[in-house]
Chain A
């Protein structure tokens, strides 16, 4: 297994490790902020696994995060607590409690199953329609979480989830998610999807085939963000449906966009950048006594990036393989395109809209 084959995993893992190292030297609340950011990094990577690979944008990934969080949360709350906190919970759930690790996996599997259920419908929709449908999914899941009180405790929220997620646990999970995403994007399916994304005409020629591939990407993505959901639940220990709604959706999207939508490096770079930025902005917000400034700031930043540099910090390319480590840099990850891709206006390297030479 040469270094080039697993590139850019090493530098990305290094970035994550460094972030955690720095965080561990800071105050407890700062460390917690960064830990939260690392969990969100997992979500962003999972988002990339669908959006960056298939080219179809999603606003619904947080629905799968919510699924992962609630399912794993319900399974992780100790039985004794459940008797106290929950009335009317189905017998099977009330009597069952598993180890935190197992609950996370269960949550992810349920999220993946939901993805599999929806994949046939979403796969057949035109890209834009599919994106809008994912938004509908987000709202529906939010609605269900608010109303299914016997299981989720509705707007009061879930409580009593073991608080297992420390800084280094979050690091471990994010590395796992990173690796799975990397394997997926390098797999045959992943490569086919990315090729289809870069050349929509070829994609249309592949027809139904692409729909099925997208469905697979959706399931993988749902699994990954579902894992993150479980980890998130064990970070917060108690949460309500609003934690997994518009704010988290926007934050994770902003992280991916700022970093670079179409590369794994973009997901990591964007998430880490915004996590640190948020850390500083929140201090500013507190000193200015203007709550909500961070959100406005991030929104402006995202819009700015979209207007000025839509391909994000990484230019939607992977971190480059350094020259000194090998004879040639790794060119394999560069997006191929028909007439060249240096136009900063374009997020992807697809054919220019208006005309051709």
Chain B
């Protein structure tokens, strides 16, 4: 019983994290048709920011980190992506990959290639006992925060006028401009939200791993990609569902695989993903977006 509950909590927490990651990618893709490889580096920037402000009280540290990451996201959009905004998908993809690589190596130039350890988030280290079962505090925190953020995003996208503009831009960017949606502004808003999600994910990842290095974002961004594909490119609900699905599958494999095979957990998850895609290549909850065709 204890393992079942712990695995469930683990799955939900992992799923929540993956869902946040996937949303960050899906949001930008929806609006711009851009897959942002450098999203992982936004998380890396968040991680390093947390290390640098770790002396501050937690709320201040979090706010400063979020501000830095959002600023980086807006800068990224302005300098690297706006010049290629109307290019074909391949150019967009490779540009974001090159940017990701650039940022990783700039980080190496500044911080060196070895990871820095930090005690940020160590307050969440211990476990809480619920009904006699030990559950990690970090997991609970992730689940709560993820649920809050996802709900908030759902409200913003579904109910506000900004959300209407974003959905219109995601469906038909050119037509949205013809009814007055300001292209620059809506893209900036998308990047800002994406940055906020990245900062949040970065905090929890730092809390869980205790260190930040230049390749901090590579693993998470990969997960985000997979979740986005499986969910249906550009589909926000799909990203959330797929994120939780991936978290669930990963947690189950972690529990169920024999010890010798546990390091290959990712390969097993990947195999599951491949099968899912063969069966349903358009994704779990496909969305009508303009860029995805052939």
Q: Is A120 an interface residue (CB 8 A)?
A: yes
Given A57-B93, A143-B267, A204-B294, also A306-B84 (CB < 8 A): yes
Which residues in A have their C-beta under 8 angstroms from that of B263? 143, 147
- Choose among A133, A143, A302 the residue that contacts B98 (Cβ–Cβ < 8 A): A302
Query: Is B102 a contact partner of A299 (Cβ separation < 8 A)?
Result: yes
Q: Which of A90-98, A122-130, A171-179 contacts B (4 or more CB under 8 A)?
A: A122-130
Query: Is A139 a contact partner of B90 (Cβ separation < 8 A)?
Result: no
- Choose among A127, A302, A303 the residue that contacts B89 (Cβ–Cβ < 8 A): A127
Which residues in B have their C-beta under 8 angstroms from that of A293? 109
Q: Is A212 an interface residue (CB 8 A)?
A: no
Which residues in B have their C-beta under 8 angstroms from that of A253? 94, 97-98
Query: Is A133 a contact partner of B294 (Cβ separation < 8 A)?
Result: no
Q: Is A86 an interface residue (CB 8 A)?
A: no
Distance of A129 Cα from B87 Cα, bound (Å):
18
Distance of A203 Cα from B266 Cα, bound (Å):
34
Q: Is B91 an interface residue (CB 8 A)?
A: yes
Mask of A246-262 contacts with B, CB within 8 angstroms, 1/0: 10001001100100010
Which residues in B have their C-beta under 8 angstroms from that of A5? none
Given A139-B219, A306-B94, A353-B88, also A295-B105 (CB < 8 A): yes
Query: Is A128 a contact partner of B274 (Cβ separation < 8 A)?
Result: no
Q: How close is A181's CB to chain B, nearest CB, in angstroms?
A: 19
Q: Is A345 an interface residue (CB 8 A)?
A: yes
Report the nearest A residue to B107, measured CB to CB. A292
Which residues in A have their C-beta under 8 angstroms from that of B277? 121, 124-125, 129, 133
- Choose among A132, A261, A355 the residue that contacts B228 (Cβ–Cβ < 8 A): A132
Which residues in A have their C-beta under 8 angstroms from that of B235? none
Report the nearest A residue to B263, measured CB to CB. A147
Query: Is B91 a contact partner of A306 (Cβ separation < 8 A)?
Result: yes
Interface of A is mostly: helix
The size class of the interface chain B forms with chain A is 35 or more
Q: How close is A250's CB to chain B, nearest CB, in angstroms?
A: 5
- Choose among B95, B106, B174, B229 the residue that contacts A133 (Cβ–Cβ < 8 A): B229
Query: Is A126 a contact partner of B281 (Cβ separation < 8 A)?
Result: yes
Chain B residues 248-289 with CB under 8 Å of chain A are 263-264, 266-267, 270, 273-274, 277-278, 281-283
Which residues in B have their C-beta under 8 angstroms from that of A144? 264, 267
Query: Is B95 a contact partner of A306 (Cβ separation < 8 A)?
Result: yes
Q: Is A296 an interface residue (CB 8 A)?
A: yes
- Choose among B95, B270, B281 the residue that contacts A124 (Cβ–Cβ < 8 A): B281
Query: Is B98 a contact partner of A303 (Cβ separation < 8 A)?
Result: yes
Which residues in A have their C-beta under 8 angstroms from that of B281? 124-126, 129
Which residues in B have their C-beta under 8 angstroms from that of A261? 90
Report the nearest A residue to B102, measured CB to CB. A299
Query: Is A132 a contact partner of B278 (Cβ separation < 8 A)?
Result: no
Report the nearest A residue to B292, measured CB to CB. A126
Query: Is A310 a contact partner of B101 (Cβ separation < 8 A)?
Result: no
Chain B residues 144-178 with CB under 8 Å of chain A are 174
Q: How close is A295's CB to chain B, nearest CB, in angstroms?
A: 4
**B84, B88, B263, B264 — most chain A CB neighbours (10 Å):** B88
Q: Is B52 an interface residue (CB 8 A)?
A: no
Query: Is B102 a contact partner of A303 (Cβ separation < 8 A)?
Result: yes
Q: Is B83 an interface residue (CB 8 A)?
A: yes
Query: Is A345 a contact partner of B293 (Cβ separation < 8 A)?
Result: no
Chain A residues 92-150 with CB under 8 Å of chain B are 118, 120-121, 124-129, 131-133, 135-137, 139-140, 143-144, 147
Q: How close is A299's CB to chain B, nearest CB, in angstroms?
A: 4
Q: Is B222 an interface residue (CB 8 A)?
A: yes
Distance of A143 Cα from B264 Cα, bound (Å):
7
Chain A residues 319-342 with CB under 8 Å of chain B are none
- Choose among B86, B88, B104, B294 the residue that contacts A126 (Cβ–Cβ < 8 A): B294
The 5 A-B residue pairs with the shortest CB-CB distance, nearest first, are A299-B102, A147-B263, A132-B225, A295-B105, A302-B98
What are 9 A-B interface contacts by the 8 Å CB criterion?
A129-B292, A131-B35, A133-B277, A136-B226, A139-B266, A140-B267, A290-B109, A303-B99, A310-B91
Task: A296-B109, A300-B102, A355-B174 given; name 11 further pairs at CB < 8 Å.
Answer: A133-B277, A136-B222, A136-B225, A136-B273, A139-B218, A139-B266, A261-B90, A299-B99, A310-B84, A345-B86, A350-B88
